């Protein structure tokens, strides 16, 4: 998945906002809370996709080749894809959708209503 594809997919989710920060990282938020990032953080070169996970997904994904706990965000159950081959674009989209759902679900009831979630 390219950065443009990442941005296009995240932008198609409900009530999202994008900011560029932290050294040109594409940071996607829902209700002001981050759910996915495309950056160049970590070892090696190239883009890295990071996203919030459920507890179970975090445990399982860390065991897969090319997927690590996300720098600076691992304590909050985030993973980072270290290689383009770590996960298919289809699976990335499913996990990003789930990340959006997890983060949106933690917003207040009033905020969710305001955002149409």
Query: Which domains occur in the chain, in start order?
Result: 3-112 (3.90.1150.30)
Q: Where are the beta strands (DSSP E) in 1-117?
A: 16-21, 25-30, 33-39, 48-52, 67-69, 78-81
Q: Give the pLDDT band (50/70/90) at residue 71.
A: confident
For position 42, what pLDDT does the model report? 55
Per-residue pLDDT of 8-55, as tens digits, reads 999 999 999 999 998 889 999 999 999 999 987 655 556 789 999 999
Whether the CB-CB separation of 14 and 116 falls below 8 Å is answered with yes
Per-residue pLDDT of 78-100, as tens digits, reads 999 988 889 999 999 999 999 99
């Amino acid at each position: 998945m390219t950065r443009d594809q990442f941005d296009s997919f995240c932008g198609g989710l409900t009530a999202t906002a994008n900011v560029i920060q932290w050294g040109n990282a594409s940071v996607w938020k829902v209700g002001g809370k981050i759910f996915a990032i495309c950056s160049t953080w970590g070892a090696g070169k190239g883009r890295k996709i990071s996203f919030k996970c459920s507890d179970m997904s975090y445990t399982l994904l860390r065991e897969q080749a090319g997927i690590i706990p996300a720098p600076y965000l691992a304590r909050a159950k985030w993973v980072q894809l270290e290689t383009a081959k770590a996960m298919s674009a289809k699976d990335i989209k499913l996990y990003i959708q789930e990340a959006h759902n997890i983060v949106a679900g933690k917003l207040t009831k009033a905020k969710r209503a305001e955002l149409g979630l």
